[in-house]
Amino acid sequence: MSQTDQNPSTTVNFKAGPNRHQQTPASDARIPGELGLWIFLLADMSIFALYFWVFIWNQSLHPEQFLQGQASLNHSLGLLNTVILLSSSYFAAMAVHGARTKNTTAFLRNIKLTIACGLGFGLVKAVEYGEKFDAGLHIASNEFYSFYFAFTGIHMVHVIIGLSLLSYTLFSFTTEEKIRQQMANIEGTVLYWHMVDLLWVVLFSLIYLLQ
């Protein structure tokens, strides 16, 4: 995420618990977040990997239905949402950079932009769902739409959780001192948001594009 994290000579150093909050992150070469958080992220991504496998397996069982389903999706809105989430990840990374360089204004501005992107994603998703409902398509229409609504819906819940965490960060960590103390929580929130972004990129490729 930051230059310190990308240094190949960085020593892997997980520090969990209350004491790790007191370190000065900008001068500490380490992996952001804590061990437990990474376990959570990997476990959640494993479940999504299972979703992806089930989708591909069912696609092989009903190739015609999945082709028709993919063709009926609004690819422009899907692509727009991908761009929105990728932008949000950039702003989230810049927010962490602002926090590490003690630039509170940049930190808060980038958190707000990340939240705005998240809300934009939700709005576009609502429009897309609305199109499908208007066309009489719903979760029980066929296998393809079962997976489309279920997987994108579960992902949307992840987005809502991420937006809640980002909003808490925005309203609670407003001073330089508070940001320094809560660096681990800020990094954790942003890591989670990156995972949400990554999962969407795979979901978009799989549901909208992969034939």
Partner 1 sequence: MIIMQDKRPLILVAIVSMAMTILLYGVGMFLIAGYLPPPSPLLTEPEIAAMYRENHTSIIAGLTMAFLGTGFMLPLWVMASVFMAEVEEGFPYFSIMQALCALATTLFTALPNLIWLAAAFRIDRPDELVYMLHDLGWIMWATPSWGFAFQFICFAICGLSDKRETPFVPRWLCYLGLWVALCVLVTPLVPFFTDGPFAWNGLFSFWVAFISPNLWSTLLAVYVIKRIRSQPSEIKGAVNA
What is the contact surface with partner 1 in residues (CB under 8 A)? 16-18, 34-37, 39-40, 43-44, 47, 50-51, 54, 58, 139-140, 143, 146, 150, 154, 157-158
Q: How far is the CB of 157 from partner 1 (least distance, A)?
A: 6
- Residue 27: CB minimum distance to partner 1, A: 24
Q: Rounded to the nearest whole angstrom, what is the least distance from the CB of residue 17 to partner 1 in the complex?
A: 6
- Give the position of tokens 């979901």: 203
DSSP label at 8?
T
37 CB-contact burial (10 Å; exposed 0-12 / middle 13-18 / buried 19+): buried
Q: How far is the CB of 153 from partner 1 (least distance, A)?
A: 8
* Cα distance between residue 19 and residue 2, in whole Å: 22
| Between 16 and 209, CB nearer to partner 1 | 16
| CB-count burial class (<10 Å; 0-12, 13-18, 19+) for 141 | middle
110/194 with CB nearer partner 1:
194
User: What is the rounded CA–CA span in Å between residue 123 and residue 116?
Assistant: 10
When the beta carbons of 91 and 151 are compared against partner 1, the nearer one is 151
Cβ 143 vs Cβ 58: under 8 Å: yes
To partner 1, the closest distance from the beta carbon of 163 in angstroms equals 15
Output 34 or 187, the one with its CB closest to partner 1: 34
Give me 39's structure tokens.
């376990």
* Cβ proximity of 36 and 112 under 8 Å: no
Phi, psi for 125 (deg, rounded to 5)? -65, -40
Name the residue nearer to partner 1 (CB basis): 98 or 162: 162
